């Protein structure tokens, strides 16, 4: 589908490109460093050293496994929304709210006009690229999700807040591209929750991406896709990175009824289960994808970020992803 665009950007990928959604678990030494930093036992420099060490660990690990398009693993982030809220003007850190069970997070509050003052992820992207030998995705959380997962006090309504965020976050996209990023992923997991607001998310994505020379991926997960498909094809991204395994591949039925015009990063392992899927299960999921989608349009990855898994589980799940992609490459004529 968009292989020509990728080739135009100087990126030549094999059939069934292997990638991951973004986050990996923090190794024990980084978990300890973060706890020590929170307790004022170490300085920021020591924490950042541990974050760089962990980033390099995951870059090396992805390359060892045979991943084609790498991520930095988000070792420097706590929460995908809070990280951007902490680095954009206009936000305050809110108190703790519960997400489920005994899990809580600090939900940001938009208390003033949002403003991008300087690059947020760029230094980490540059560091990771410096230790990587394969293409590396630029990664940021999208404006709709940041808006949806924040309290909005300053703006009169959700749309205004979302579009203001998009305008500012475009600066981050431009900064990544200026530094050489060719593939940029804009995570919008909240997009599938309020179908009536899909036009707002599409408008915001246009603000983020229009006229910019990159291959754009958008990660969307854990929502009611039947409420936003096929309208979601209006989202200006080249590739939808979708959670497929957790929902029993039911999105394939939607693709049968209305052809998908995007490349699909097809989630073949469940990111929120300790169970390591066996190779045949994962390969079968990918075979089902090939029955419905053009094989040239299929990328292969986990359902979602792997940060909630242990390091060993994340590696094992990525190995299963790699094995499935390689098995399918071997049985297709285009290798």
Partner 1 sequence: MELALCNHSSYPRIGDDPEHQLLRRTIAQYDKGEKTDDAVRAAQERMTELALAEQTEAGLDLVTDGQIRWSDPISHLAGKLSGVQLNGLLRFFDTNFYFRQPVVEGRPERTEPLLVEEFKFAQEKSARPVKAVMTGPYTLARFSVAGNGGPGSFEKTLEGYTTALAAEVAALAAAGAKVIQIEEPALLKHLDDFPRFEQCVSALAMNKDASQLALALYFGDPAPLYDQLQTLAVDILGLDFTCSPGLADRVASSGSARTLMLGLLDGRNTRLEDPDATTRLLEKIGRNAGSNRAYLSPSCGLEYLPRDRARQKLRQLAVIRNTFLGSPS
Annotate each residue in 263-302 with x if it binds partner 1 (CB under 8 A) or - if it does not, as one string.
---------x------------------------------
Neighbours of 274 (CB within 10 A): 10
Q: Would you say 97 or 331 has its CB closer to partner 1?
A: 97
308 binds partner 1 (CB under 8 A): no
CB of 193 to partner 1, least distance (A): 5
- Is the previous residue joined to 230 through a cis bond, with omega within 30 degrees of 0? yes
Q: Would you say 35 or 212 has its CB closer to partner 1?
A: 35
Interaction with partner 1 in 135-154: which residues (CB under 8 A)? 148-149, 151-153
Residue carrying the six token digits 């950007």: 9
CB of 258 to partner 1, least distance (A): 24
3-state SS string for 12-33: CCCCCCECCCCECCCCHHHHHH
Q: Would you say 107 or 129 has its CB closer to partner 1?
A: 107
Question: How far is it, in rounded angstroms, from Cα 329 to Cα 335?
Answer: 6
45 binds partner 1 (CB under 8 A): no
Q: DSSP for 270-322?
A: -TT-S----HHHHHHHHHHHHHHS-GGGEEEE-SS--TTS-HHHHHHHHHHHH
Tell whether the torsion through CA atoms of 23, 286, 202 and 229 is positive or negative: negative
Count CA atoms closer than 13 A to 182's CA, side-chain side: 16
Q: Would you say 36 or 79 has its CB closer to partner 1?
A: 79
193, 292, 311, 316: residue in contact with partner 1 (rule CB under 8 A): 193
Interaction with partner 1 in 80-119: which residues (CB under 8 A)? 94-102, 104, 107, 109
Q: Would you say 222 or 255 has its CB closer to partner 1?
A: 222
Chain residues in the site for partner 1 (CB under 8 A)? 94-102, 104, 107, 109, 148-149, 151-153, 190, 193-194, 222-223, 246, 272
């Amino acid at each position: 589908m968009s292989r020509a665009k990728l080739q135009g950007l100087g990126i030549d990928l094999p059939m069934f490109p292997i990638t991951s959604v973004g986050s990996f678990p923090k190794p024990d030494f980084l978990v300890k460093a973060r706890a020590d930093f929170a307790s004022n036992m170490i300085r920021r420099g020591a924490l950042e050293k541990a974050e760089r060490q962990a980033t390099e660990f995951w870059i090396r690990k992805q390359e060892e496994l045979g991943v084609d398009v790498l991520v930095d693993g988000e070792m420097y982030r706590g929460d995908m929304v809070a990280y951007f809220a902490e680095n954009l003007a206009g936000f305050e850190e809110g108190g703790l709210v519960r997400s489920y069970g005994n899990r809580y997070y600090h939900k940001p509050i938009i208390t003033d006009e949002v403003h991008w003052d300087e690059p947020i992820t760029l230094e980490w992207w540059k560091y990771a690229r410096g230790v990587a030998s394969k293409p590396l995705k630029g990664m940021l959380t999208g404006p709709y999700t940041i808006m949806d997962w924040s309290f909005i006090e300053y703006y009169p309504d959700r749309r205004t807040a979302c579009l203001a965020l998009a305008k500012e976050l475009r600066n981050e996209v431009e900064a990544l591209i200026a530094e050489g990023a060719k593939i940029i992923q804009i995570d919008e997991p909240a997009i599938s929750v309020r179908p009536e607001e899909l036009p707002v998310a599409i408008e915001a994505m246009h603000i983020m991406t229009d006229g910019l020379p990159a291959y754009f991926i958008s990660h969307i997960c854990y929502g009611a896709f039947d409420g936003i498909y096929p309208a979601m094809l209006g989202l200006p991204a080249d590739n939808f990175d979708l959670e497929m395994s957790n929902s029993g591949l039911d999105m394939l039925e939607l693709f049968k009824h209305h052809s998908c015009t995007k490349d699909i990063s097809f989630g073949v392992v469940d990111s929120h289960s300790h169970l390591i899927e066996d190779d045949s299960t994962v390969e079968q999921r990918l075979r089902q994808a090939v029955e419905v989608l053009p094989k040239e349009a299929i990328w292969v990855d986990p359902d979602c970020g792997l940060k909630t898994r242990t390091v060993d589980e994340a590696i094992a799940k990525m190995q299963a992803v790699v094995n499935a992609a390689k098995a399918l490459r071997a049985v297709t004529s285009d290798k």
